[in-house]
Chains A and B, each alone.
Chain A
Amino acid sequence: MNKKTNTEQGYWRLVWRQFRRNRLSVVGLLILGLLTLVAVAAPFLANDVPVYMVKGGKSYWFPNVISYQELEAANFYSTAMRWTPGEGEYALRPPIPFSPRNQMLLDNKRGPSAKHWLGTDDRGRSVAARIVWGSRISLSVGFIAEGISVLVGIFLGALAGYYGGRTDALIMRLIEVVMCFPAFFLILALVALLPPSIFTVMFALGLLGWPGIARLVRGEFLKLRESQFALAAKASGLGDARIIFRHLAPNAMAPVLVSATFGVAGAILTESALSFLGFGVPPPTASWGELLSQSQHLVGSGIWWLVVFPGLAIFATVTAFNLVGEGLRDAMDPRLRQ
């Protein structure tokens, strides 16, 4: 509707307009978009199972993501890499025709080539395929760990800020206790105690990342609880839980979003460090930190591709998140608005 074009300029539209002015942040956002695409489309980018194939007179669409019973019965999936289409058969393979688990022992520790774009590791697995699939681990650990932090942080921060007094004192002391621990060593200890899995890593990272968010939310709530609309909501008979989480919390989201963006970068970095030390995602799952850790005991053998490519992936991802976070922070700060 025409008459609304002036007034319909919502908060997020304003933030977006401001965000766009920052070139680097837009680049960061593009990198993140690309990365998400890579993570989502991993089975189409790096896989030994073709995307489309004709085998035994039958055509299959997307056997890489759909499990066909007759292929399963013929044990095709575990031998797909070695299968070459015969007469009247056809295979359209993904650009990297290896899965991250395909071991080509004859090809191990090969440098980048036309066959293995980014080389192979010491078991002959394609580094390119492992980086593509590793992006799934990095992104999901980053987002879920930070998601846990954000949920816990909002919950505790909101309670502390809204109720104040003793509740506040208690939660603030808890925050101080958690912040006092050298986080990385506590995470190492937690991961060592709990059964090794990707969820353990997410859980441990999430449970230690919330204090910063909780402090931010508490600060916002100290302001919000004095607001007239909080009083109006109370006067309308709404309960505390509804006022806190439905009416006030959305007003505290802007700083949380900025902080969470940096938090995701931090979680990805920590996950890589954990995997590098061998405490992260258990093998044979591909992760960037795990690739780096392989390079650790191959140091001095000139196998540079195992250091450079996963390192670059981590670097690009973390930098992209930080750039986006900075852009968001500036875009949401009304004092910097032009």
Chain B
Amino acid sequence: MSTNTPLLRVRDLRTQFHTDQGVALAVDGVSFDLKAGKTLALVGESGCGKSVTAMSILRLIPSPPGKIAGGTIEFEGRDLLGASDQDLRKVRGNDISMIFQEPMTSMNPVFRVGNQLTDVIRLHRGSSKADARREAIALLAQVGIPAPEERIDDYPHQMSGGMLQRIMIAMALSCQPKVLIADEPTTALDVTIQAQILELLKSLQVSKGLAILLITHDLGVVEEVSDEVAVMYAGKIIEYSARTSSLLETPRHPYTQGLYASLPSMQRGRTRLHTIPGSVPAATQFPSGCRFHPRCPHALPVCKETAPPWTPLENGSGVACWLHAEAKP
């Protein structure tokens, strides 16, 4: 397979939550491709729909109140949104796996970590207990757990957060998936552990040719590990760059610019940190036109009226902003 064919193709995904306050458009028309061996980072503030996007891919949205209202998700050309529950279960953990933000709460407290690991291996591969255990030990060694023969019989509460995240990664990789969805995998960890986990993900990606969808709000993490970046705001992708470095050099969208300006910097010396005024609007009451316009320093009159069109830029990148649109109304 050529590296340009996307493994995972998401088009116009719409995920909504029906709440008492109205319909929340948590994800509203998101499209992206995930290519084999590449890392796509999905960046944005809390509540912008990153995690909902990730959960929609494996159809993990609690329903009700959640509902995938439109769009398509294809994995290797197979439709995931229309798949039966049984087919979907074969994809989950086997072709596409997921790791979560809080390793401490992602493991079942009443089971030894080894049993949770072998459970998944046996489910998808049908291997014997002894084989699964041997494999689990090898996996633990691979993700850098010291003395895996001993630690495999520990309970989750006997391990540190970083260790548990390693085990989550081992579990996610146990069936050699093609896609790994990492939902804020390092947010709950110390900075030094963060670096180790990211390093581990990177090396595993190289050795296994994994495609990673990395959900994060940390631009430092993006810079370190991702090949491509999509910036989300209020349920939409507002800027996409096929090369992480080019987004870092020249952010186009005022929101992306704002995000970068808010990063502490060694060069700028001791000044007050920049902030983007206001906060993310509630998903039930998005503003008209461009959803960023009430907070945007460059807002034009048209921004209030009409949502900006997607403007393609060089090598597949693009931005949704009137400032960059070719045809201004």
CB contact between A228 and one of B58, B102, B110, B124 (< 8 Å): that residue = B102
**How far, in angstroms, from A251 to B155 measured CA to CA in the complex?**
14
- Contact count band on A: 20 to 34
- CB-based contact B100/A237 at 8 Å: no
Cβ contacts A210-234/B at 8 Å (1 or 0 each): 0000000000000000011101111
A33 to chain B, nearest CB (A): 26
Known: A7-B158, A10-B155, A165-B64. A235 touches B108 (CB 8 A): no
**How far, in angstroms, from A118 to B88 measured CA to CA in the complex?**
68
- CB-based contact B93/A227 at 8 Å: no
A250 within 8 Å of B (CB atoms)? yes
- CB-based contact A235/B89 at 8 Å: no
B94 within 8 Å of A (CB atoms)? yes
- CB-based contact A247/B108 at 8 Å: yes
- CB-based contact A229/B106 at 8 Å: yes
A302 within 8 Å of B (CB atoms)? no
- CB-based contact B123/A232 at 8 Å: no
Known: A231-B100, A250-B110. A236 touches B120 (CB 8 A): yes
Closest Cβ neighbor of B109 among chain A residues: A251
- CB-based contact A232/B107 at 8 Å: yes
Cβ contacts A301-325/B at 8 Å (1 or 0 each): 0000000000000000000000000
CB-CB under 8 A from A234, the residues of chain B are 60, 92
**How far, in angstroms, from A146 to B92 measured CA to CA in the complex?**
38
CB-CB under 8 A from B89, the residues of chain A are 237-239
Closest Cβ neighbor of B91 among chain A residues: A237
A253 to chain B, nearest CB (A): 8
- CB-based contact A231/B60 at 8 Å: yes
- CB-based contact B108/A229 at 8 Å: yes
Most B CB contacts (10 A, CB to CB) among A7, A234, A239, A247 go to: A234
- CB-based contact A238/B123 at 8 Å: yes
Interface residues of A in 1-30 (CB under 8 A from B): 7-8, 10
- CB-based contact A229/B94 at 8 Å: no
Cβ contacts A58-86/B at 8 Å (1 or 0 each): 00000000000000000000000000000
CB-CB under 8 A from B98, the residues of chain A are 232, 235
B208 within 8 Å of A (CB atoms)? no
- CB-based contact B105/A237 at 8 Å: no
- CB-based contact A236/B105 at 8 Å: no
- CB-based contact A237/B120 at 8 Å: yes
CB-CB under 8 A from A246, the residues of chain B are 119
CB-CB under 8 A from B94, the residues of chain A are 237
**How far, in angstroms, from A3 to B112 measured CA to CA in the complex?**
18
Most B CB contacts (10 A, CB to CB) among A8, A235, A238 go to: A235
**How far, in angstroms, from A231 to B52 measured CA to CA in the complex?**
13
**How far, in angstroms, from A10 to B92 measured CA to CA in the complex?**
32
**How far, in angstroms, from A120 to B93 measured CA to CA in the complex?**
69
- CB-based contact B93/A228 at 8 Å: no
- CB-based contact B93/A236 at 8 Å: yes
**How far, in angstroms, from A231 to B181 measured CA to CA in the complex?**
13
Known: A236-B92, A237-B91. A229 touches B97 (CB 8 A): no
CB-CB under 8 A from B64, the residues of chain A are 165
Closest Cβ neighbor of A1 among chain B residues: B150
CB-CB under 8 A from B109, the residues of chain A are 229, 251
- CB-based contact A229/B123 at 8 Å: no
CB-CB under 8 A from A237, the residues of chain B are 89-94, 120, 123-124
Closest Cβ neighbor of A164 among chain B residues: B64
**How far, in angstroms, from A229 to B116 measured CA to CA in the complex?**
10
Known: A165-B64, A236-B92, A250-B110. A227 touches B105 (CB 8 A): yes
Closest Cβ neighbor of B107 among chain A residues: A229
CB-CB under 8 A from B155, the residues of chain A are 10
- CB-based contact B123/A228 at 8 Å: no
B238 within 8 Å of A (CB atoms)? no
- CB-based contact B92/A251 at 8 Å: no
Interface residues of B in 76-116 (CB under 8 A from A): 89-94, 97-98, 100, 102, 105-111
B43 within 8 Å of A (CB atoms)? no
CB-CB under 8 A from B93, the residues of chain A are 235-238
CB-CB under 8 A from B119, the residues of chain A are 236, 238, 246
- CB-based contact B124/A232 at 8 Å: no
A180 to chain B, nearest CB (A): 29
B234 within 8 Å of A (CB atoms)? no
CB contact between A232 and one of B91, B110, B154, B168 (< 8 Å): that residue = B168
B211 within 8 Å of A (CB atoms)? no
CB contact between B106 and one of A232, A239, A251 (< 8 Å): that residue = A232
**Top 10 closest A-B pairs, CB basis?**
A237-B93, A236-B93, A237-B92, A228-B105, A235-B98, A232-B106, A7-B158, A250-B110, A229-B108, A228-B106
Could you write out 24 A-B pairs with CB less than 8 Å apart?
Answer: A165-B64, A227-B105, A228-B100, A228-B105, A228-B106, A229-B107, A229-B109, A232-B98, A232-B100, A232-B107, A234-B60, A235-B93, A236-B93, A236-B120, A236-B171, A237-B89, A237-B93, A237-B94, A237-B123, A239-B89, A242-B123, A247-B108, A250-B111, A251-B110
